[in-house]
């Protein structure tokens, strides 16, 4: 399994359409080789925010 330092992964800011809510996250699964929006059956992650 690949290893990635969390300090090397950039923070990604995501905002709601009306700019009322926002969150900051790190895409750890993508950094480890996962596929965005593929779902767990395809060894990816599902994104609720596009």
> What's the pLDDT tens digit per position in 15-46?
999 999 999 999 888 888 877 777 666 665 55
Domain ranges of the chain: 6-45
Tokens representing residue 15 in the block: 């905002």
Q: Rounded to an integer, what distance in angstroms lies between the CA atom of residue 50 and that of residue 32? A: 20
Q: What is the pLDDT of residue 24?
A: 95
Tokens representing residue 44 in the block: 């990816």
Residue 13 pLDDT > 90: yes
The band of 7, judged by pLDDT with boundaries at 50, 70 and 90, is very high
**Residues 34/37/42/44 CA torsion (nearest 10 deg):** 20
The band of 48, judged by pLDDT with boundaries at 50, 70 and 90, is low
């Amino acid at each position: 399994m690949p290893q990635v330092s969390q300090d090397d992964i950039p923070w990604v800011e995501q905002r709601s359409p009306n700019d009322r809510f926002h969150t900051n996250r790190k895409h750890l699964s993508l950094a480890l080789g996962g596929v965005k929006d593929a779902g767990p059956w395809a060894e990816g992650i599902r994104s609720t925010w596009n």
